Amino acid sequence: MIASFTGLPSQCASAGGTKRADIHQASSTPDSTRYSAEQKAEVHATLEAILDRLDGMPRAPDPWEETCLVLALNFLESGLYERALKQLDDCVLPAGERSPWRERQINRNPRRYSVVRLRARLAGVKATIR
């Protein structure tokens, strides 16, 4: 019964079966090899601009902004610049356009990051790419 499953390696074209498509083929190249140093610097500058704007406000980042920025930094540290850009786009969404479900989930988490701490992490990311 299990042996009839067409996705088993033993049933690839060399074993007489049909070869299945590699589902990881499209995403096998890490973002870090697709982004030039200039493009990476632009992503860092975008994050810095958001932090500068937050510094100019008389408040700390709200839970939505904090979560998006932390996730963006996590992706930057992992070299996933495309995903980091998505988080930065989400960060600047107006409150009325945010996903209510996601916002409820985010609001359940304790807040831990200030703009200063976010800047320190960004400095660490920038230092590792030089």
- pLDDT one-digit tens code per residue, 37-53: 888 989 999 999 999 99
Determine, yes or no, domain membership for 98: yes
- pLDDT for residue 130: 60
Determine, yes or no, domain membership for 114: yes
Determine, yes or no, domain membership for 7: no
**What is the number of structural domains in the chain?**
1
Determine, yes or no, domain membership for 8: no
Mean pLDDT of the chain: 80
- Which of 43, 45, 90, 91 has the alpha carbon at shortest distance from 65? 91
- pLDDT one-digit tens code per residue, 23-82: 444 444 554 457 788 889 899 999 999 999 999 998 889 999 999 999 999 999 999 999
Contact in structure between 81 and 75 (CB atoms under 8 Å): yes
- pLDDT for residue 1: 43
Contact in structure between 46 and 90 (CB atoms under 8 Å): no
